[in-house]
Structure 1
Amino acid sequence: MTLPLPPVLFTDVKYRASLAAVQALGKAGYPVYTAQTEAELQGTPPAFSSVYAKGVFLVPGSCYDVEYPARLAEICNSIRAEKEQVPVLFPIGAATLSQVAGHSEELASTARFLISPPEVLDRANDKRAVAELAQTLNIPIPEEFDCREDRLPPRFPVVIKPRCGEKLGLHAEERYCKVYQESDFAAAYSKMARFDPEPVVQELLTGDGVGVSAVMDQNSRPVSVVCHRRIREYPIEGGPSACCESFWDGTLVRYAVELLQALHFVGIAMVEFKDGKLLEINPRVWGSFPLTEKCGSPFSLRYVQAASGNAAAVCEGPEYKEGIRMRFLLNDTLACLSYLCHGQPGKALSGLTEPFRPKSKEALFSWRDPKPFFLYLKNTLTKRGD
């Protein structure tokens, strides 16, 4: 007799990235539940309004509270009692990921999940440690300059960033400073040194960003892999993806998998490259995650299967459509306007014609589940989006 599909609990659904996984698993027939802590709540989370959400949970307090893991366990136990199956926990936010990793033994009896131990997450979040490991694996990295004791880099432009900007609670655009000339270096270095006394100083790479994302199972095997290239970003000086495209790069996939396996990584991670060189690891659900659903990747499904202990084949090639573009309507529109204001009309025009491309999709819109998209627009336009 075939067992029913296990329930899945998504945390931190204030993040727009959560909606893609909710919809992907809901369409596949999984009972989906969504949760958000009250302290971090900013308007009604779009995923709460999804037709696939069988239940929603407002969690008291904050995801940083010491009581948070126990509150998650209580929710998981209530789902288990209702569905008579242990739920799969699908953390979206970095804080929840860290909490679950630190309390994995206590939570293991109430939920299934696929998360690396705290020490592995910490190492994956450390840009300098990741770069040093990459060197031992012959993975290309940007040149780093030792700028301690008021030393200047030998050439410009450079980028300065803390070893782990996300753990400091910084937004994506706050995690680095680009410096194009010697006269601006001291001020930029001091700014980043407020967050990290010895920030990373690297050559500034100018190509388009590429992400190689993977689900690594309990044995650190890649059971799903997705590649995307960044088309436009907002802010255009170096913000998150406003528009990106699915593709496949066998060399970068090999680099990413070797790196994650060397870390003995378990769970979801996005390894970022630029100009063929490794930038960093994001050991969590990333901003352009909705592309996994839009291009038809089984990424979310493979996470749930692996977390449930179901063996899956190693991914050896693309299991999705290449050339699918995904855009965030508001961010991409702002990016196009910004390109226009900065004297780049070609990029602006390319963005404005994006809706007419046959393989271009809006990140958050679904004909079968339209309400979350309009709720997200409302939250964002009233300054309550993520």
Structure 2
Amino acid sequence: MSHKAVILGCNYYIGLSTIRCLGQYGIHTVAVDYLDTNHYGATSKYCSERLIAPYYKDDPKAFVQFLKDYAGQQSVPPVLIPCHDNYVEVVDEYLDELRECYLIPQTDAGLYSKLMNKETLQKLALEHGVAVPETIRVTEEDFLDKVDHIIKYPCVVKPVDSPAFVAKFRKKLFKVANREELVAAIEQSNQAGLEVIIQRIIPGFDDHMYTYDAYLNQESKVTHWLTCQKFRQYPINFGASVYTGQKYVPELHEIGAKFLEQLQYKGFAEIEFKKDAETGQFYLIEINVRITNLNSLLLKSGVNIPYITYRELTGSPVEPYAILKDTNYVFWYAFEDLLAIKGYIKTKQLTLGQVVRSLFKRKAHAIWSWQDPKPFFAFVGMLLGRKFGKSRT
């Protein structure tokens, strides 16, 4: 296959899984990072080429020019696949320019950013009849009183710009138990120059979190999809998946496919829902517009999103299909799951027995692979290096 696959961000297991998904078919994979350290994904035997680009935050124009220069050296346009929100933001900003030399699913510049932005996402969801948690903006008159009477406590303070918030606070949101904590959280966000909104917490344990993972072709029609159910996440209650199973939930397809098709979306998207433990209604929480944590689970379950993307963009699309049963596979990021388990047990949300019983499922490992073990050992070496470095300071 002559088209190369340029993968942005391989210092994490999402990039690693993308490399594996494509490399196993003999596709030339190009791992792009901005540092020459801690990119264990690029140690995969399926990685064909490694590039160090300018840092996209310091000089996005230089980063884009680097990508364009590389594409200009190729005989045919490469496929461009971002594996982190920050890369998505750059691609979206320079979409028209990058599409001149790369194959990219999305054609509507700005749509990625609209869906990543919590405020515009909520507006789009409501316009299309998709339920979202009740939200109050800090710019509203008497917003503190509205929180007291409409949303009530505890509630969450969420960023409008998630990547910037996570980079600053190393968490996805603030959970607050009273007005004093709410004011403090808003003040912290203001000091960091970050806009936030306040939302009701949908009742239900973490296993009430679900995902709808879908690929939409260039006609904005869902061609491939499956659904998943979270079991544990880290940080607990409001974090990323660390133990998640594939679970067939047809209602999520009914909601998600209609919404994405109405938006004229193209490419892969993952919609995260929470099922209200009291009413059973599904609420849209967020949308990921890039390859996600669960990519290895999707692969094990039978849906290879990077390969589907590559095949369609290079002119030989894969036949449509969906996973309409439970495969009993679970995604497992063991390192952070151990931290999550400690938190769940400490807060008495889970017992040790419940945790042990949950582990007897077929695994889609975040990093480990018998066929490709080197990234695992590179990851362990990275962790030991960090620990050793801390012990000396």
> TM-score, structure 1 length as denominator?
0.86
**Aligned equivalent of 1:140, options 110, 131, 146:** 131
Greater CA deviation, 163-172 or 271-280?
163-172
Greater CA deviation, 305-314 or 335-344?
305-314
Unmatched runs of 5 consecutive residues or more in structure 2:
276-281, 388-393
How far is the alpha carbon of 1:109 from its aligned partner? 4.1
How far is the alpha carbon of 1:6 from its aligned partner? 2.9
Contact 2:328 / 2:361 at 8 angstroms: preserved in 1? no
Greater CA deviation, 43-52 or 137-146?
137-146
Distance verdict in 2 for CA 1:233–1:73, change over 3 Å? same
Distance verdict in 2 for CA 1:137–1:172, change over 3 Å? farther
Contact 1:7 / 1:88 at 8 angstroms: preserved in 2? yes
Cα RMSD after superposing both structures = 2.7
More helix by share: 2
- What is the percentage of aligned positions where both structures have the same residue? 20
Q: Quote the residue 2:278 is aligned against.
A: none
Residue 278 of structure 1 aligns to a residue whose secondary structure is strand
How far is the alpha carbon of 1:304 from its aligned partner? 0.9
Q: Quote the residue 2:88 is aligned against.
A: 97
**Aligned equivalent of 1:117, options 95, 104, 108:** 108
Q: Residue 69 in 1 paired to residue 64 in 2?
A: yes
How far is the alpha carbon of 1:55 from its aligned partner? 1.5
Distance verdict in 2 for CA 1:107–1:206, change over 3 Å? same
Question: 1:19-168 maps to which residues of 2 (within 5 A)?
Answer: 19-38=16-35, 43-62=37-56, 64-65=58-59, 66-78=61-73, 80=74, 84-145=75-136, 148-150=140-142, 151-152=144-145, 153=147, 154=149, 155-168=152-165
Q: Quote the residue 1:201 is aligned against.
A: 198
Greater CA deviation, 276-285 or 214-223?
214-223
Contact 1:333 / 1:351 at 8 angstroms: preserved in 2? no
Q: Quote the residue 2:178 is aligned against.
A: 181
Runs of 4+ with deviation above 6 angstroms: none
Q: Quote the residue 2:246 is aligned against.
A: 246
Contact 1:161 / 1:192 at 8 angstroms: preserved in 2? no
Name the CA distance, whole Å, in 2 between partners of 1:63 and 1:164.
15
Name the CA distance, whole Å, in 2 between partners of 1:62 and 1:138.
36
Q: Residue 350 in 1 paired to residue 350 in 2?
A: no
Contact 1:89 / 1:112 at 8 angstroms: preserved in 2? yes
Distance verdict in 2 for CA 1:30–1:358, change over 3 Å? same
Name the CA distance, whole Å, in 2 between partners of 1:248 and 1:325.
13
Write the letter of the residue equivalent to 2:310.
Answer: V
Aligned length: 371
Distance verdict in 2 for CA 1:199–1:264, change over 3 Å? same
Distance verdict in 2 for CA 1:8–1:137, change over 3 Å? same
Name the CA distance, whole Å, in 2 between partners of 1:114 and 1:120.
12
Residue 367 of structure 2 aligns to a residue whose secondary structure is coil
Contact 2:161 / 2:194 at 8 angstroms: preserved in 1? no
Distance verdict in 2 for CA 1:301–1:321, change over 3 Å? farther
Contact 2:268 / 2:305 at 8 angstroms: preserved in 1? no
Residue 292 of structure 1 aligns to a residue whose secondary structure is helix
Unmatched runs of 5 consecutive residues or more in structure 1:
none
Write the letter of the residue equivalent to 2:344.
Answer: Y
How far is the alpha carbon of 1:21 from its aligned partner? 1.5
Question: 1:151-300 maps to which residues of 2 (within 5 A)?
Answer: 151-152=144-145, 153=147, 154=149, 155-168=152-165, 170=167, 174-194=171-191, 199-207=196-204, 208-275=208-275, 276-300=282-306
> TM-score, structure 2 length as denominator?
0.84
Write the letter of the residue equivalent to 2:215.
Answer: V
